[in-house]
C-alpha cells in the first residue's frame, strides 16, 4: 500500500497533529509526516513535531504582503519536503487558489462542527450560542471558500446541559482525533474519490467500503 507523504499545517496546540503522529507511530496510519508548517512561532504544535523528530518550519503570514505570496512560500516549502497531501490541523488561515491549485483535492481540513453549520472561527461557541443539541466535526476537502469544500466524513457530538465552550470543544476534539486519522487512512487505502456531476452541482465525495457517518451505529469499520 502506498504511504501518504503528509504536510501538516498548524497554528496552535496541535492535538490533531499529535493524533496523526501517534497513529503513524502505532502503525494504524500508513503515512509519513514530511513537514509541519506553522504560521505562528512558538506554538505547542511545533514542539510536538520536534519531539517526534519531524522537520518544522515557521512562515509567518505577517511577513508577506498578500495572501498569494504567503501561499507561494507555503507551497515551495511543502514541495521541497516531498509532500503530496496536505492536512490543515487547526490552521487558521484561508488558502487561495495559488495553494489549492498546487494540491488539487489533496488538502484536507478538520472543522469542529457539522458543516455547513457553524463555519469559520470558534464553531463550538457558535453551536452553544445557537442552542443546537447535536454538533460534531467534519473532515472535508478544502476549496477556496471558508469551510465549504466537499465533505468526506462527519461525526456527531451531543451538546450536554451545562456545557461551556471549553467542555464542548474538548468533547468534539476527541472525535476530531479519531475522525481525522480514520479519513487519512481511507485516503491511504485509496477509498476516497471526488465525483463531479455534469449538472454543475457540488462535487461529492465517494468513500469505498466504509461509512462516512462516523461514530454511530451506521459506521462499518
Which residue among 136, 176, 179, 182 contacts ligand GAR (CB under 6 A)?
A: 176
Active site residue 111: yes
Reduce the DSSP state of residue 140 to 3 states and report it: strand
Which residue among 37, 85, 112, 128 contacts ligand GAR (CB under 6 A)?
A: 112
* Rounded-to-integer distance, Cα 202 and Cα 196, Å: 7
The distance of closest approach from Cβ of residue 194 to ligand GAR in the complex, given in angstroms and rounded to an integer, is: 21
Q: Which residues contact 18 (CB under 8 A, 6 or more apart)?
A: 48, 177
The distance of closest approach from Cβ of residue 216 to ligand GAR in the complex, given in angstroms and rounded to an integer, is: 19
Cis preceding linkage at 116, omega within 30? yes
Is 56 among the residues that bind ligand GAR (CB under 6 A)? no
* Rounded-to-integer distance, Cα 192 and Cα 106, Å: 11
**N- to C-terminal Cα distance for the chain?**
18
**How many positions of this chain bind ligand GAR (CB under 6 A)?**
14
* Rounded-to-integer distance, Cα 29 and Cα 186, Å: 9
Is 149 among the residues that bind ligand GAR (CB under 6 A)? no
Which residue among 6, 16, 102, 188 contacts ligand GAR (CB under 6 A)?
A: 16
Is 212 among the residues that bind ligand GAR (CB under 6 A)? no
Q: Which residue, among 147, 92, 144, 160, has the nearest Cα to 114 in the 3D structure?
A: 147
Is 89 among the residues that bind ligand GAR (CB under 6 A)? yes
Q: Which is nearer to ligand GAR, 76 or 129 (CB)?
A: 129
Is 183 among the residues that bind ligand GAR (CB under 6 A)? no
Q: Which is nearer to ligand GAR, 79 or 156 (CB)?
A: 156
Within the chain, where are the H helices?
15-26, 44-51, 67-80, 97-100, 123-130, 165-188
Q: Which stretch binds ligand GAR (CB under 6 A): 9-17, 31-39, 73-81, 158-166?
A: 9-17
Is 171 among the residues that bind ligand GAR (CB under 6 A)? no
Is 14 among the residues that bind ligand GAR (CB under 6 A)? yes
C-alpha cell belonging to residue 97: 487558489
**Residue 173 and residue 112 in contact, taking contact as beta carbons nearer than 8 Å:** yes
- Where along the sequence are the contacts to ligand GAR (CB under 6 A)? 12-16, 45, 89-90, 110-112, 123, 173, 176
Active site residues: 111
Amino acid at each position: 500500500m502506498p504511504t501518504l507523504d503528509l504536510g501538516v499545517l498548524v497554528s496552535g496546540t496541535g492535538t490533531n497533529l499529535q493524533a496523526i503522529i501517534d497513529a503513524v507511530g502505532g502503525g494504524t496510519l500508513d503515512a509519513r509526516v514530511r513537514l509541519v508548517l506553522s504560521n505562528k512561532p512558538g506554538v505547542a504544535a511545533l514542539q510536538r513535531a520536534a519531539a517526534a523528530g519531524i522537520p518544522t518550519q515557521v512562515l509567518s503570514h505577517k511577513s508577506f504582503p498578500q495572501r498569494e505570496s504567503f501561499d507561494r512560500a507555503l507551497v515551495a516549502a511543502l514541495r521541497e519536503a516531498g509532500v503530496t497531501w496536505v492536512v490543515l490541523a487547526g490552521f487558521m488561515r484561508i488558502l487561495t487558489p495559488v495553494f489549492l491549485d498546487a494540491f488539487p483535492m489533496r488538502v484536507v481540513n478538520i472543522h469542529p462542527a457539522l458543516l455547513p453549520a457553524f463555519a469559520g472561527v470558534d464553531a463550538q461557541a457558535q453551536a452553544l450560542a445557537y442552542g443546537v443539541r447535536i454538533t460534531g466535526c467534519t473532515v472535508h476537502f478544502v476549496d477556496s471558500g471558508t469551510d465549504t469544500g466537499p465533505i468526506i466524513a462527519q461525526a456527531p457530538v451531543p451538546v450536554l446541559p451545562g456545557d461551556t465552550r471549553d467542555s464542548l470543544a474538548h468533547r468534539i476534539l476527541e472525535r476530531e482525533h479519531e475522525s481525522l486519522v480514520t479519513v487519512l487512512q481511507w485516503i491511504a487505502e485509496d477509498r476516497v474519490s471526488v465525483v463531479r456531476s455534469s449538472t454543475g452541482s457540488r462535487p461529492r465525495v465517494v468513500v469505498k467500503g466504509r461509512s462516512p457517518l462516523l461514530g454511530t451505529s451506521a459506521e462499518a469499520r
